[in-house]
Amino acid sequence: MAGNEGDQRGQPIKESHMSLECSMLNTTNYNNWTLRLKEIFRVHGMLQAIEPRPVSTLKQKKDNMAIALLLQSIPEELVVQVSHLDTAKKIWDALKTQFIKDQESINDYAAKTSCIVSKAASLGGACEDKKLVRKLLGSVPHKFIPIVSSIEQFADLKIMSFQEGVRRLKTYEERLKGAESTGEAQGKLLLHQNGPSQKSGYNGKGKKEL
């Protein structure tokens, strides 16, 4: 179970006079999404719900609100995948596991495929390029589905070399990285402009603003 900084948005979350908007998680904005959602959890006093060692005394109401915020900020297909998990921490970790895996590079997947070729060669076998290309296209993460679909639709996989398949995937990967970097920079700028005192309701002298 990182960019487009979330073309889709959830409903605003209101805390007294403040209105906080959850970014929608997608295949390219995971790092930026976690940054913003942690700040929202901090404002609502729910950060303990997703920390490495969640506080055992965390009130059920707080955990339920954290779950609601998480489910509001992920796509429908991910909601289905995490629907059996009963705490915010479990959902958070499941999303982290999936998206960290999605951050493996095309070079990583190409190396794994090449390793299979080497093992086959050591046993006296051989793998044709078309089989390697199909294996590579079938092993990459969900975020590469658009380029995989394009390659399968418009390219002749019978004559495409393994190196050409890797090249096309890496070109798409670089575009995703550029989009992610832009989105993260915009997110950090927004948080900096808001400032911690504005989010917490306290001024720089530790006194609550009226």
Domain ranges in the chain are: 9-103, 106-177
Give this prediction's pTM. 0.44
- Which tens digits make up the pLDDT trace of 38-76? 888 888 888 888 876 656 666 788 888 899 999 999 988
- Inter-residue contact 43 to 191 (CB < 8 Å): no
| Per-residue model confidence as pLDDT tens digits over 170-206 | 999 888 877 766 655 555 555 555 554 444 444 444 4
- What DSSP designation does 15 have? E
